[in-house]
Amino acid sequence: MTTDSALSDVLVLDLTQIMAGPFCTMVLADMGADVIKVEKPNGGDDNRRMGPPFIKEWSAGFLALNRNKRS
C-alpha cells in the first residue's frame, strides 16, 4: 500500500533566499511537494554563509531550511 502525502502532486519552483521564503518552501517540501531550489549565480543563496554553526562549508540553517528540496 502506498500512502500519498498532502502535496504529493504539487511542483514548486523555489527562487527564494535568506529565511522567510526558504522556510515556507521547506514546509511545502515537508508536506510532500516536489520543491526545486534555484539559486543565484556566483555564490548562491546568502543563507549558505550565515552562521555559525557550519557543517563543512554550509551553515546549519541553510541545510535545515533546504531539506527535502532538489536543486
Domain boundaries, the chain: 11-70
Report the mean per-residue pLDDT for the chain.
Answer: 92
Instruction: Give the number of other Cβ atoms within 10 Å of residue 8's Cβ.
Output: 12
* Cα–Cα distance for residue pair 55/30, rounded to 1 Å: 22
pLDDT averages per 10-residue partition of the chain, 71 residues: 80 95 98 97 90 89 95 91
- What pLDDT score does 51 carry? 84
Listing from the earlier edge strand, what are the strands of the sheet with 11-14? 11-14, 34-37, 69-70
* Cα–Cα distance for residue pair 53/45, rounded to 1 Å: 17
- What pLDDT score does 4 carry? 81
- What pLDDT score does 1 carry? 43
- What pLDDT score does 3 carry? 64
Q: Enter the pTM of the model.
A: 0.86
